[in-house]
Amino acid sequence: MQIHRPLVACLVREQRPTFIPPATEDEFSTDTVDWYAVERAINGEGPRPELTRDELREAALWLRRHGMERAVVSVHLCVYERLVKEWEADAGMLGPDQLCTEPGCGKARAGRGLCVNHGAADRKWRQAVAGLGMAA
């Protein structure tokens, strides 16, 4: 028996959140975020604007706060899921069980309970120990 599942891109088209930009003019006109471009990206209006990293972050966080799944946000904004998860960790949207277990690190887990940086350091340490012929 085969289960029919829609493609992730189809899910993006079906969900249409309504974006309400910041209310005051000083919040609206910042140096790093063009809220009109963020609104067009969220609503999927064309032509899709070129977004800065800050604008992508704001759009991704808004979509995640309003219930869109991380994979769908990734496809909708053309960014990596891991990057969306890192933005969520920076914004305090992830629970402690989804953060790196290294003391003082608040980044998102990637594998073995560690973030990308601590995971790479752990991998290098394990390779060095294995090279010496010792058990890690």
Torsion angle of alpha carbons 31, 36, 41, 45, nearest 10°?
-160
Q: What is the DSSP string of 99-122?
A: B--STT--SBP-BTTB-HHHHHHH
Q: How far apart are CA 93 and CA 65, in angstroms?
A: 8
The model scores a pTM over 0.85? no
**For a pLDDT cut of 90, what percent of the chain falls above it?**
7
- Residue 71 predicted with pLDDT over 50: yes
pLDDT at 133 over 80: no
Closest C-alpha among 126, 123, 121, 128 to residue 136 = 126
The predicted pLDDT at position 84 comes to 92
Mean pLDDT of 38-57: 82
pLDDT mean over 89-116: 85
pLDDT of residue 135: 60
Q: Is residue 119 pLDDT above 80, yes or no? A: yes
Helix, coil or strand: residue 44: coil
pLDDT digits (tens, 9 = 90+) for 15-47: 555 666 665 545 544 567 877 788 888 887 777
Which percentage of the chain shows pLDDT scores above 70?
Answer: 74
Residue (of 63, 72, 73) closest to 18 by Cα position: 63
Residue 55, pLDDT above cutoff 60: yes
| Amino acid 136: pLDDT | 54
